[in-house]
Amino acid sequence: MADNPYGGKLHDKVLIADKGYTTVVVATGSFNASANANDTNSENLMIIHDKATADKYYAEFLRIRGSYGRGTASIDKITVPASRL
């Protein structure tokens, strides 16, 4: 990445759905939820149905979240106030 023309920065999007359940979905890639992404742009989207992979993505999310001083505690619908969901 250090030799790329964008200054070594990576922009990643990830959605982790139903992580606390046996059926889990991870969606990741460059795809934006827009008409242009769907119809015009050259985008990629990978859908993963694997709990071990979801756990790794979630651990990385918590690590990054912690690096911004927001803590590394797990986030779920029990600990997040309903007003913030």
49-67 confidence digits (pLDDT tens): 998 998 899 888 888 888 8
Q: Read off the DSSP letter of residue 19.
A: T
Nearest to 6 by CA among 27, 30, 26: 30
Q: Give the pLDDT band of residue 46 (cuts 50, 70, 90).
A: very high
What are 71's two structure tokens?
């803590």
Q: What is the pTM of this model?
A: 0.65
User: Please, which contacts does 75-83 make with residues 24 or more away whose CB atoms are closer than 8 Å?
Assistant: 76/19, 76/20
What are 16's two structure tokens?
């982790």
What are the sequence ranges of the domains in the chain?
A: 13-72
Q: What amino acid is encoded at 34 in this protein?
A: S
* pLDDT surpassing 80 at residue 40: yes
Name which residue leads in pLDDT, 16 or 21: 16
Q: Can you tell me whether residue 75 is helix, strand or coil?
A: coil
